[in-house]
Structure 1
Amino acid sequence: MPAEPRLGDGARLALTTFTILPVRTGRIDRTTAGTAMALAPVVGALLAVPLGGLLLLLDAVTAPLVAAGVTVAAGALLTRGLHLDGLADTVDALGSYRRGPAALEIMKKPDVGPFGVVALVLVLLVQAAALAELAGRSRSAAFTAVLVAVAAGRLGVSLACRRGVPAARPDGLGALVAGTVGPVALAVATVAVTLTAIPAVPDRPWQGPLVVLAALAVAAGLLRHVVRRLGGITGDVLGATVELVTTLVYLGLVLSG
């Protein structure tokens, strides 16, 4: 397939996977999926624009915590809550101490168990608290922090889909995207997000890049554990990775703030 159509199909697949935008998908195969997963941080950056703008707008007219809470809710709305659902299902499966097919069956259940509920509450609380803190900083630093955190969360997906990481099931989103992101695309995306993080903490320009790399390192550790327990990645694992990395970046950017 020529490069331009493949890029267009990948971009459309990335938008429909990571946002609620009603974009018509084109050709869908593993090559297209690899392009989409490599473009995930770009989609994250685009998603961060309205979220950062909303945070700053609401902070000007209401309390920071209210602005932060609405921004977190908007983020869930713009992604159909899929990443949060994936987080809950993944934590429930890992918390069960079961392996392989037995753990995957827990992930497929429509209900949310106690582990998943606790994970959701903690993630949403930390994100809202961090955003409230960021809202009190300069507008440019706050906006950059949102941009970096949301883009880094999707960079976690690119990391999870890198070559060598298997799928846990023979079908589903995990089977389509597992192992499709090459090292060059992953490296370019990582450098871009890391450099973007420099102005997120103006008086400590090293903190933003360090936070991004640390969050990705934690995600890589989680992915190794997931592969051991489940046999590979699933769509739920990708959603959990998004929320984990996003939350860790928000938390890291407000430390010693």
Structure 2
Amino acid sequence: MIDALRLAFGTLTAYPVPAPTTVAAPVPGRAMALAPLAGVVPGGAGWLVAFAGLRLGLAPLVVAVLVVAVFALSTRALHLDGLADTADGFTASYNRDRALDVMRRGDSGPAGVVMVVIVLMLQVTTLDQVLVTARAHHAGGWSGDLLAALAVVTVAVTARLAIPVICRTGVPPARPEGLGAMVAGAVGNPLLTSSMIGSLVIATLTGRAAGLAWWAGPVAVLVTVVATEVLVRRAVRRLGGITGDVIGAGVEIGVAAALLALVVTS
């Protein structure tokens, strides 16, 4: 389990951790199942930034931009890169090998750039609405802002539930090498169930503390899982399986999906 924690936090965040002693099975599966827990790192950093921004009197929209920037910095923009590459691959060609070759390149094409812009705009504008709603449920003051900012943690944890869903048993890798090959199909049903329950508990508790409706967290989890499932099915049809880029795309889409759910339910 220690190796799984090291692999999860070392791969999914930009913060330095000791390297795992082994990445042989079952470590990859356990690490991907712990992805929502690793989301506490960018979520916690975003929470502090949101709290500080609100206390300084910044508009919630400005705070939302700062939080999304912290999310990107906390992962070295790894997930955004995956989103861009996945969009480029899906739109490049109906030929599987051609699509995978486009995704393997380091540059971003028009589809990738447009998709990143759209998703980031959606994340920022919906987070702005969530923060406004959360603040309205508290009496104000530093304690109210501190609690309202907890919505950021709700989103960060919920979005990373996309990772074990993508890496669940039965989902093949698109390539024989790379991160996707190492983790594809590695999360068994018991681990996936545990990850979902853990995410549901954290999302419910933090969302309620933030001042959102009690069902907001559970709905965000559900919507994230559904959005991720759509992405997985598309990846399997177009690419024959998943890649590390698809995992990154799942997280960014998960952030947008979770925030949309919080806006609708609050």
- Asked if these proteins are the same fold (TM beyond 0.5), I'd say yes
Question: What per-residue deviation string (whole Å, max 9, x for no partner) do you get for residues 76-111 of structure 1?
Answer: 011000000000000111122423211100101221
Task: Name the SS for the 1:24 alignment partner.
Answer: coil
Match of 2:263 among 232, 254, 257: 254
Q: Which residue of 1 aligns with 2:48?
A: 53
Aligned positions of 1:178-189 closer than 5 A: 178-189=184-195
Residue 141 of structure 1: how far off its partner (Å): 5.5
Q: 1:112 is paired with a residue of what secondary structure?
A: coil
- Distance across 2 between alignment mates of 1:209 and 1:144: 15
Q: 1:8 to 1:203 in 2, by over 3 A?
A: closer
The answer to whether 1:149 aligns with 2:155 is yes
C-alpha RMSD of matched pairs (Å): 1.7
Give 3-state SS (helix, strand or coil) of 1:255's partner. helix
Residues in 2 aligned to 1:170 and 1:256: alpha-carbon distance in whole angstroms: 42
Q: What is the match of residue 114 of structure 2?
A: 118
How far 1:13 moved relative to its partner? 0.7
Number of the residue aligned with 1:240? 249
Q: Which runs of 5+ in 1 are unaligned?
A: 1-6
Residues in 2 aligned to 1:92 and 1:67: alpha-carbon distance in whole angstroms: 30
Aligned length: 251
Q: Confirm whether residue 104 of structure 1 aligns to residue 100 of structure 2.
A: yes
1:214 aligned to which of 220, 223, 227: 223
TM-score (norm 1): 0.92
Where structure 2 has 5 or more consecutive residues not aligned to the other structure, the ranges are 136-144
Name the structure 2 match of 1:160: 166
1:104–1:230 CA contact under 8 A, matched in 2 = yes
Q: Is the 1:168–1:232 contact (alpha carbons within 8 Å) kept by the matching residues of 2?
A: yes
Once residues 33 and 256 of structure 1 are traced to their aligned partners in structure 2, the CA distance between those partners, rounded to angstroms, is 35
Give the conservation status (yes or no) of the 8 Å contact 1:198–1:208: yes
Tell which deviates more after alignment, 134-143 or 52-61. 134-143
Once residues 203 and 125 of structure 1 are traced to their aligned partners in structure 2, the CA distance between those partners, rounded to angstroms, is 22
Q: Partners in 2 of 1:171 and 1:102 — Cα distance?
A: 17
| Aligned counterpart in structure 2 of residue 8 of structure 1, from 2, 14, 17 | 2
Residue equivalent to 1:205: 214
* Residue deviations 1:12-58 (CA, integer Å, cap 9, x gap): 11111111112121212232111110111100023211111211211
For residues 17-96 of structure 1, the aligned pairs below 5 Å read 17-26=11-20, 27-61=22-56, 62-96=58-92
Which one-letter code corresponds to 2:47 in the other structure?
A: G
* Contact 1:144–1:197, Cα closer than 8 Å, also in 2: no
Q: Distance in 2 between matches of 1:171 and 1:23?
A: 24
What secondary structure sits across from 1:67 in the alignment? helix
User: Matches of 1:207 and 1:197 in 2, distance apart?
Assistant: 8
SS at the partner of 2:150? helix
With normalisation by structure 2, the TM-score equals: 0.89
Moved more, 79-88 or 243-252: 243-252
- In 2, the alpha carbon distance for the partners of 1:20 and 1:9 equals 17
CA distance in 2, matches of 1:98, 1:142: 45
**Matches of 2:3 and 2:160 in 1, distance apart?**
18
